[in-house]
Structures are given as structure tokens and as C-alpha cells.
Amino acid sequence: MTNNAAERELRAVAVGRKNWTFAGSDEGGRRAAAIYTLVATAKLNDIDPQARLADILACLPDHPAKRIDELMPWNWRSQNVAHAA
């Protein structure tokens, strides 16, 4: 077994460590962590993070809270294909 995949993922954390000190506040750090989590989750599901974030941010204002599971990455791809058809 190798740990190359884990080391590759942690490299982004190590590179960004100095940049995260400029989040501005504790709340800014929490927001940065939330965005980082969304990007990493998209990458793990083989989805373009920029396209996913743009789509989610566009549909969030009028998306019902009861159907928030539709925005999860494993469901998002099927929605994206459905809209294209």
C-alpha cells in the first residue's frame, strides 16, 4: 500500500497554511474552511469545483431547504445532466 493519495491531498493544506493566516478573523477562517470543504468534496466526486460552486450559489436563493440533499455532489451531477437535456 502507498499513501501517495493522502500526501497529495495534504500538500494543498501545507501550501495554503501561510495564506490562511490572512483570513482576517475567526469567522473568516470558518468561511474559508467551508469553501475548502466544498472544493475538496467536489474533487473527490470528480466534479469541476468551479462549475459546482457557481451552480450552487446561483440556485441557493430560491432552493427549498427541504430539498437540500439535491445539492450534494453525488446528486448534483445527475441534476446537471438533466438540465442539459
* Axis-axis angle for helices 49-59, 26-44 (nearest 10): 120
pLDDT for residue 74 is more than 70: yes
* Cβ-based neighbours of 76, under 8 Å, separated by 6 or more: 47, 52, 55, 56, 70
Our CA angle for 27, 28, 30, nearest 5°, is 65
pLDDT of residue 85: 46
Q: 44: which DSSP letter?
A: H
Matching residue, cell 446561483 = 58
| Enclosing domain of residue 9 | 4-84
Residue 4: CA count within 13 A, CB half-sphere? 2
Cα separation, 32 vs 20, in Å, equals 8
Average pLDDT value for the chain: 79
Cα separation, 7 vs 43, in Å, equals 15
pLDDT for residue 77 is more than 80: no
pLDDT of residue 66: 93
Number of structural domains (the chain) is: 1
